């Protein structure tokens, strides 16, 4: 996530880790004053913690942790069972597998009706 430079008196939320320091844009928020040729004030990839702490007036790109909000429920053990099908296979794949199974079953039924043979020979 891109974070703007902190305002005076504001502390910088570091995130998990700083991926880049952006160009110095304290005097020009549009970013025209900072470029690759800005020397020490230019953008810097994977800076050290000391460099980040010393960089005032510079925006940062930080890594953030994003997690899905799950309902509060006690953790359950699988107890020897595998993962639920809804987590392993998508809904589209499950419907497709059902369609293939129904198509195969309909071919067996059609074979039984047209050949008048036993079910063992029609499968």
Strand arrangement of the beta sheet that strand 2-3 belongs to: 2-3, 58-63, 17-24, 44-45
Quick one: tokens of 91?
């809904």
The reply to whether 68 falls in a domain is no
In the chain, DSSP assigns E strands to: 2-3, 17-24, 44-45, 58-63
The reply to whether 51 falls in a domain is yes
Of 19-23, 47-51, 111-115, 119-123, give the lowest mean pLDDT range. 119-123
- For the stretch 32-84, pLDDT in tens is 555 556 666 778 888 888 888 888 778 888 888 877 776 666 655 555 566 77
Q: In this structure, are strands 44-45 and 2-3 parallel, antiparallel, or unpaired?
A: unpaired
- 12 and 57 fall within a common domain: yes
- 58 and 20 fall within a common domain: yes
The reply to whether 59 falls in a domain is yes
Residue 8 has pLDDT above 80, yes or no: no
- Residue 105's domain comprises 85-122
- 48 and 99 fall within a common domain: no
- 57 and 14 fall within a common domain: yes
- 59 and 10 fall within a common domain: yes
What domain count does the chain have?
2
Region 94-101 average pLDDT: 96
- 46 and 95 fall within a common domain: no
The reply to whether 76 falls in a domain is no
- 44 and 11 fall within a common domain: yes
Q: Does an H or E element contain 58, and which? A: strand 58-63
Of 20-29, 52-61, 114-123, give the lowest mean pLDDT range. 20-29
Higher pLDDT pick, 58 / 30: 58
């Amino acid at each position: 996530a891109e974070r703007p430079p902190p305002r005076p008196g504001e502390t910088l939320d570091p995130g998990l880790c700083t991926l880049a320091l952006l160009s110095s844009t304290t005097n020009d928020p549009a970013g025209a004053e900072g470029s690759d040729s800005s020397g020490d004030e230019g953008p810097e990839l994977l800076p050290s913690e000391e460099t980040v702490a010393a960089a005032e007036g510079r925006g940062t790109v930080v890594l953030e942790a994003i997690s899905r909000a799950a309902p509060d429920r006690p953790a359950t053990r699988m107890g020897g069972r595998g993962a639920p099908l809804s987590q392993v296979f998508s809904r589209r794949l499950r419907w497709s597998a059902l369609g293939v199974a129904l198509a195969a079953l309909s071919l067996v039924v059609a074979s039984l009706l047209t050949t008048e043979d036993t079910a063992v020979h029609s499968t």
